[in-house]
Amino acid sequence: NQAEQEAEEVREDIAKFEELSFPDSVLYGEGTVIDSSGPIPITINNKVRLAIKYFQTKGRRIFTKWLKRSGRYESLIKPILKEEGVPEDLFYLAMIESGFHPRARSYARAVGIWQFISSTGRHYGLRHNWWFDERSDVIKSTHAAAKHLKRLYQRFGDWYLAMAGYNCNPRKVEYNIRRYHTRNFWKLRRLPRQTRNYIPTFLAAIIISKQPNKFGFYVEKDPPIKVDSITISEAVDLNVIAKIVDTTYSYIREINPAVLRWVTPPGIKDFTLYLPKGKRDRFVQQYAKIPDSQKRSWVRHRIRPGETLSTIARKYHTSMSVIKSINKIRGSLIRAGHYLLIPVPQNKAYYYASRQSRRSPSKYKRSKHRTKRSYAAHAPGAKRVVYQVKPGDTIGEIAEKYHTRASKIRAWNGLRYGEFIYPKQNLVIWVNKQIASPVKNVSHVEDTKATYYTVKTGDTLWDISRKYGLSIEKLKRLNNMRSVRIRPGDRIKVSEN
């Protein structure tokens, strides 16, 4: 689902947008203005103006969708933030984290409206397995996010630094504070690039959302989701729940984004189930009358010769671990003629169709045929280099080698943010003529008058500098190196004549 990664792609896109040059008339003003009347100061500077301009132009369609979607969750999230003792404006942090999409999943496997990774989610009591994921529970994850942000604020004493710590590792923020001897977020120049754009994007979201008409957004927000809750400790088909409360299976799925399958999670004690507002008493009364045999559906599958747990799991749209757990199988060995009990949804056609649509490959097909953009291709002195990826290479290291940005290499080669590269893959790179030759697989042109050393296994730049009586800084200068990282087979210039 494209919406699942749109927020992450917007944050990366704004980082690229920052590289473009706009006239003063586009930025409509200069200087820095700070409104400190609220708990979170609202700063307006050129970086914030640039983020506002992005949402008004290239990001307009997505921001319009986010504004519309915000209506569903505002009345759920803001009271929780107030209850936890943090500013209600942090509501807009969920906007730039996930676009208010409870089932959002990032390339780094962060999940939910607040984008928790597994370890942080578990630390705040958000459970998950194959059946369910409480990081997608809007109410529970908001309580967890508020607690996490409150701790970060107590750690840093500043909401900008707390939010920067939420976006990246808090230790990176502390390292930058020590390095630059300042607690001013705007002066921490070595934070990760996406984090440097995180606060301006958040501020732009607040400024536009509070006065959308002023910025050209005329959006009718979605009606608020209103729910009652009840705890349940057994597996119940969502179709059964929908019938009891007189609604649809799809609506029960919508208000219970933490349920990943067609059934409430088996074996989980006190799972929170959300029901349409005013339906709790009806559910309690009717549920008590339903026999266990009608609460969920099972298929008794006879194992045929040649079948494996893997092929059976694929057939029923489930996992091997689920089949093994239900049938108390320790290994992977099964015998033809035996029977397995398989859980299945009562409304199989609807469930399988909805899973298939969520797995739609259209997004990935589009990414393969995405237009390759080039910022330097038409610049004076730009030269095309075809670089063949070596084992261990990363896009960041290749970008350093060619004095360019990782975002540009991804754009030139149609790669999504977070997409892997692999050995022997050819990457097109546009560089200055003085930096690289167009010859395939050659990262630089060797000087025939210079002396070179071929790096061997175990070598370090320090070893080579001692061997040839040079300082590490001089070696880096001779080879246009930004870091001290070298690999076996690299050719290092050790003298100019």
Span of 63-77, 199-213, 372-386 with lowest mean pLDDT = 372-386
- Give a yes or no: residue 188 inside a domain: yes
Instruction: Give residue 452's pLDDT band: very low, low, confident or very high (50, 70, 90).
Output: confident
Give the domain range for residue 334. 299-360
Residues 140 and 9 in one domain: yes
Query: Domain count of the chain?
Result: 5
- Radius of gyration of the chain, Cα coordinates, nearest whole angstrom: 28
Residues 182 and 307 in one domain: no
- For helices 193-210 and 91-98, the axis angle rounded to 10 degrees is 120
pLDDT at residue 414 in the model? 80
User: How far is CA 185 from its chain centroid?
Assistant: 23
Q: For residues 197 and 432, which has the higher predicted lDDT (pLDDT)?
A: 197
- Give a yes or no: residue 240 inside a domain: yes
- Give the count of beta carbons closer than 10 Å to the beta carbon of residue 291: 6
- Give a yes or no: residue 79 inside a domain: yes
pLDDT at residue 373 in the model? 40
| Mean pLDDT of all residues in 93-102 | 94
Residue with tokens 């943010």: 417
Instruction: Give residue 135's pLDDT band: very low, low, confident or very high (50, 70, 90).
Output: very high
| Mean pLDDT of all residues in 95-114 | 92
Predicted confidence (pLDDT) at residue 98 exceeds the cutoff of 90: yes
- Give a yes or no: residue 430 inside a domain: yes
- Give the count of beta carbons closer than 10 Å to the beta carbon of residue 223: 9
Supply the DSSP symbol for 488: T
Of 236, 223, 289, 262, the closest CA to residue 69 belongs to 223
In 149-245, beta strands by DSSP E: 227-232
In 148-188, beta strands by DSSP E: none
User: Which of 320, 338, 360 corresponds to the end of one domain?
Assistant: 360
- Give a yes or no: residue 221 inside a domain: no
pLDDT at residue 273 in the model? 96
Residues 78 and 188 in one domain: yes
Rounded Cα–Cα distance for residues 283 and 7 (Å): 36
The two beta strands, 227-232 and 42-44, are unpaired
- Give a yes or no: residue 373 inside a domain: yes
**Arithmetic mean of pLDDT over the chain:** 82
> Which pLDDT tens digit goes with each residue over 335-373?
888 988 887 766 554 455 555 555 544 443 444 444 434
Rounded Cα–Cα distance for residues 116 and 97 (Å): 10
> Which pLDDT tens digit goes with each residue over 414-433?
887 767 787 788 888 888 76
Hey, which residues does 340 pair with through a beta bridge? 301
Residues 141 and 52 in one domain: yes
Query: Phi, psi at residue 322, to the nearest 5°?
Result: -65, -45
> Which pLDDT tens digit goes with each residue over 144-168?
999 999 999 999 999 999 999 999 9
Residue 431 sits in a domain whose CATH number is: 3.10.350.10
